[in-house]
Amino acid sequence: MSQRIPAEERQLNLVVALMATEIGLTKQQILETVSGYRQRTTSSSDALEKMFERDKEDLRELGVPIETLGDHADPHDLREARYRIPKAEYDLPSDIDFTPAELAILRLAGSVWSEGSLSKDAHTGLRKIRALGIEVDEPIIGFAPRLTVREPSFAPLRDAIEACRVVAFDYLKPGEPSPRRRVVRPLALVDYEGRWHVSAHDVAADGERMFLLSRIVSDVEPTGERFEPALRDGAGERAMRGLEEVAARNRALLEVTPGSEAALRLTRRSLPAPQGILVPYVDAHILADELASYGPEVRVVEPAPLRAAVIERLRAARDVHRDGAA
Task: For residue 240, give the nearest of 193, 283, 174 by alpha carbon.
Answer: 193
Alpha-carbon span 196 to 275, nearest angstrom: 32
Q: Structural domains in the chain?
A: 7-90 (1.10.10), 154-239 (2.30.30), 250-325 (no CATH)
Q: Per-residue confidence of the chain (326 residues) as pLDDT tens digits?
A: 445 677 777 887 888 788 877 888 888 888 888 888 877 766 677 888 888 888 888 888 777 888 888 765 555 556 678 888 887 766 666 666 667 666 666 655 555 454 444 455 555 555 554 544 444 333 333 334 444 556 788 888 988 998 899 999 999 998 888 999 999 999 998 888 778 899 999 999 999 999 999 899 999 999 989 999 999 999 989 999 999 999 989 999 999 999 888 888 898 888 999 889 999 999 999 999 999 999 999 999 999 999 999 999 999 888 887 765 55
Alpha-carbon span 313 to 241, nearest angstrom: 30
Alpha-carbon span 288 to 309, nearest angstrom: 6
Task: Give the CA radius of gyration of the chain.
Answer: 26
> CB of 184 within 8 A of CB of 200?
yes
> CB of 296 within 8 A of CB of 256?
no
